[in-house]
Amino acid sequence: MLLTISGLPGSGTTTVSRIISERHNLEMVSAGEVFRSLADEYGMDLAEFGVLAESDDSIDLKIDERQKEIAKTRDNIILEGRLAGHMAKKALKVWIKAPVDERVRRIIARESGSFDEKLKETIGREASESTRYSTIYNIDISDLSAYDLVIDSSVWDQFQVADIISSAINNYSDV
């Protein structure tokens, strides 16, 4: 079974992916964790590394090629990442969304910082990613038509979102 879980920063994709991974005994592969580790290797924060990635397509290409290869060669996995739904040909594709204010509050809870600082950083990061995805792949990240299921995580908590996805997993015929 191949499941992709995507969403903007702070929407809950990593948290929900971990819950689903445990419930359904699926390996989780996170593009965000790969991106964060690359940023650390370069000695940069996420915003700085995002700016670098805008001028160096190889960074996104490395992450995305790895996800494509994993999707083709392994079973029983969750690909978690912004473009995961676009990287896997045949999968149950989920997008988790939430309003930006809610996402920023979650980011602050995870990383600390002021609301205004994290809002500015989040908006900048999302603009950077949107530019890169459009330039590299011709993907409009705001077009959710590639996804089988879109869930608003501001309506349900992480366990309820996982329940919805679990129901979809249990009833999806192509996985």
Alpha-carbon span 175 to 171, nearest angstrom: 9
| CB-based contact 32:111 (threshold 8 Å) | no
- The pTM assigned to this predicted structure is 0.86
In this prediction, residues 99-115 reach a mean pLDDT of: 96
Q: How confident is the model at residue 4 (pLDDT cuts 50, 70, 90)?
A: very high
Structure tokens at 23: 């419930």
Give the chain's domains with CATH numbers. 2-171 (3.40.50.300)
How many residues make up the chain in this entry? Answer: 175
In this predicted structure, what is the pLDDT of residue 174? 64
pLDDT digits 0-9 by tens, 13-68:
999 999 999 999 999 988 877 788 888 888 998 888 888 887 888 887 877 777 77
| CB-based contact 12:101 (threshold 8 Å) | no
pLDDT at 72 over 90: no
Q: Which of 143, 102, 146, 150 is nearest to 122 (CA)?
A: 102
Q: What is the Cα 108 distance to its own chain's centre?
A: 18
In this predicted structure, what is the pLDDT of residue 70? 76
**153-172 exposure pattern, b = at least 16 Cβ within 10 A, e = fewer:** beebeeeebbebbeebbeee
DSSP sequence for 80-126? ESTTHHHH-SSSEEEEEE--HHHHHHHHHHHH---HHHHHHHHHHHH
The CA angle 162-63-85, to the nearest 5 degrees, is: 40
pLDDT digits 0-9 by tens, 127-139:
988 998 898 889 9
Q: How many CB atoms lie within 10 A of CB 144?
A: 14
In this predicted structure, what is the pLDDT of residue 7? 97
